[in-house]
């Protein structure tokens, strides 16, 4: 933002608004903010600017609070990164508001919740370059718009009546950009919480305000893929690529959706395109390895995983998956070596989340759960359960079923293995066997199985 815009923005902030003291109640910060309308403001824009003012105050207080924690200080986030990331941790909620025609008064709260959860979110975000870029760019757009609105209001204060009319249209357009930024932030918060329908709705709102918002298109594509709306997700990623054919992340995500649809050749082409644009894209190599394995090119898959490991040798999932593929090739000594490396890495890192095709934290058991069981006792039923989970991850469903069979053989009351075998049968369209296993799991008292049956109105 040009220096003059920053100065005028700051001047407007000081001259036209006031803060009440921010105080913390249990689980939340609460603050008040009063915005005095400028020459171009009506009720709607005054409210929008009052809300932005109180949000800034609450976000600063939250960061000051978090920065006292040792783990947060160790992240070494820059001031710019902190300002961009903190707003995505929680949503500001309006408690009270009042407009008297000249000033807009708003009181709002920011729910803080558990500090451990917030630290975890910050740790994940600080390591995710894509998220940092998205959040930082959204923050910059917001600050730029607020600065330009300040400039227009300052110009309107000194402009004659006719000249003022010419500024109103520009001002309202900028106000729409603020609303667009708010919608994007809502989408980010919902997405990080796994609330994909809410995320899609937020990105829909952003796109209504600006059909050229490629970031909203890309992120809505991710939400659509999570919701199983794959054709719609492909459309969004393809639209992004029309504008920017060199967008490696859109190629990467479209490749993953193609793989989910069983269109492995298209998936391989898109993932290869992402790698050609960005040869340091470790996860693109990882995902292409999974696709190559499905195409029967297991040796090429191993080569891709080797590239991924060269780029990021600290990811235990890369070693774990290569171990499974090497075992398929009969290269058992190398497979054992990779498994050992995965064990050491998992013990080294506090976070050992497996990687899903979308690149986010997996909800299935962690890499450590699986490799720990295998390392302790390869004949243990839990080890076979974890092995089945791994095969499911790489799409080798028949090997997964075989592993779950062994787990059930060793422990006929293993409800979790019955459930996962049923889920895996469903993946290969064996619906009768799928329902049968899930019903057995429910009868054994497994909560996820019972929830599955209840959601479909089925008895067990």
Nearest to 355 by CA among 298, 308, 422: 308
Residue 286 in tokens: 């990882």
Residue 99, strand partner residues: 104
Radius of gyration of the chain (CA): 26
User: Is 314 in a helix, a strand, or coil?
Assistant: coil
Residue 25, strand partner residues: 28
Report the distance separating Cα 53 and Cα 60, nearest Å.
11
For CA atoms 151, 156, 160, 165, give the dihedral sign: positive
Dump pLDDT digits (tens) for 209-225. Answer: 999 999 999 999 999 99
pLDDT of residue 394: 65
Percent of the chain with pLDDT over 70: 83
Least reliable range by pLDDT among 55-59, 126-130, 245-249? 126-130
Report the distance separating Cα 421 and Cα 437, nearest Å.
7
Question: Helices 316-328 and 381-393, interaxial angle, to 10°?
Answer: 90
Q: pLDDT higher for 176 or 338?
A: 176
The kind and range of the H/E element at 27 are none
Do the strands 28-36 and 103-111 form a parallel or antiparallel pair, or are they unpaired? antiparallel
Whether residue 374 contacts residue 146, with contact meaning beta carbons closer than 8 Å, is answered with: no
pLDDT of residue 272: 97
Question: For the residues of 188-256, what is the DSSP string, one character each?
Answer: HHHHHTT-HHHHHHHHHHHHHH-TT-HHHHHHHHHHHHHTT-HHHHHHHHHHHHHH-TT-HHHHHHHHH
Query: Quick count: other Cβ atoms within 10 Å of Cβ 206?
Result: 26
Sole residue written with tokens 């429910």: 442
Whether residue 444 contacts residue 459, with contact meaning beta carbons closer than 8 Å, is answered with: no
Would you list the domain boundaries of the chain?
Answer: 1-163
Least reliable range by pLDDT among 46-55, 430-439, 451-460? 451-460
Dump pLDDT digits (tens) for 103-138. Answer: 999 999 988 777 777 777 787 777 777 778 888 888
pLDDT of residue 431: 66
* Rounded mean pLDDT, 69-97: 84
The average confidence (pLDDT) of the chain is 81
Contacts of the segment 260-266: beta carbons below 8 A, 24+ positions apart: 260/225, 260/230, 260/357, 261/230, 264/291, 264/294, 264/295, 265/295
Residue 456: DSSP 8-state: T
Dump pLDDT digits (tens) for 406-431. Answer: 889 888 888 888 988 888 887 666 66
Report the distance separating Cα 114 and Cα 244, nearest Å.
40
Nearest to 57 by CA among 88, 84, 30: 30
Least reliable range by pLDDT among 51-65, 174-188, 300-314, 370-384? 370-384
């Amino acid at each position: 933002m040009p220096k003059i815009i920053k100065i005028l923005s700051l001047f407007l902030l000081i001259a036209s608004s006031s803060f009440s003291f921010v105080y913390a109640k249990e689980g939340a910060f609460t603050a008040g903010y009063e915005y005095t309308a400028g020459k171009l403001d009506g009720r709607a824009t005054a409210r929008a600017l009052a809300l932005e003012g109180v949000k800034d105050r609450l976000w600063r207080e939250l960061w000051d609070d978090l920065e006292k924690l040792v783990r947060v200080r160790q992240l070494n986030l820059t001031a710019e990164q902190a300002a961009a990331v903190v707003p995505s941790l929680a949503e500001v909620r309006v408690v009270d508001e009042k407009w008297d025609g000249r000033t807009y008064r708003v009181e709002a709260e920011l729910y803080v919740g558990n500090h451990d959860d917030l630290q975890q979110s910050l740790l994940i975000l600080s390591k995710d370059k894509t998220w940092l870029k998205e959040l930082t760019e959204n923050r910059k757009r917001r600050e730029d718009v607020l600065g330009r609105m300040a400039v227009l209001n300052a110009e309107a204060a000194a402009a004659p009546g006719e000249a003022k009319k010419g500024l109103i249209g520009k001002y309202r357009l900028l106000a729409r950009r603020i609303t667009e930024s708010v919608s994007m932030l809502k989408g980010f918060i919902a997405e990080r919480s796994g609330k994909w329908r809410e995320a899609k709705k937020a990105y829909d709102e952003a796109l209504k305000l600006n059909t050229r918002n490629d970031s909203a298109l890309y992120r809505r594509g991710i939400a659509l893929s999570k919701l199983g709306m794959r054709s719609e997700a492909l459309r969004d990623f393809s639209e992004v690529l029309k504008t920017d054919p060199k967008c490696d992340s859109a190629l990467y995500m479209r490749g993953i959706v193609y793989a989910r649809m069983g269109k492995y050749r298209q998936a391989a082409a898109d993932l290869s395109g992402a790698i050609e644009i960005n040869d340091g894209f470790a996860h693109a190599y990882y995902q292409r390895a999974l696709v190559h394995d499905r195409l029967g090119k297991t040796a090429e898959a191993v080569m891709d995983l080797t590239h991924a490991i060269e780029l990021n040798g600290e990811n235990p999932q890369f070693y774990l998956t290569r171990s499974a593929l090497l075992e398929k090739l009969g290269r058992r000594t190398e497979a054992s070596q990779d498994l050992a490396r995965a064990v050491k890495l998992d013990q080294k890192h506090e976070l050992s989340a497996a990687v899903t095709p979308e690149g986010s934290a997996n909800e299935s058991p962690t890499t450590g759960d699986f490799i720990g069981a295998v390392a302790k006792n390869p004949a243990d039923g839990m080890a076979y359960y974890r092995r089945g989970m791994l095969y499911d991850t790489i799409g080798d469903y028949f090997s997964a079923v075989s592993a779950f069979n062994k787990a059930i053989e060793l422990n006929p009351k293993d409800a979790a293995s019955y459930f996962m075998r049923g889920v895996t049968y469903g993946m290969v369209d064996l619906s009768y066997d799928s329902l049968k296993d899930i019903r057995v799991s429910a009868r054994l008292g497994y909560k996820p199985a019972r929830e599955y049956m209840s959601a479909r109105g089925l008895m067990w």
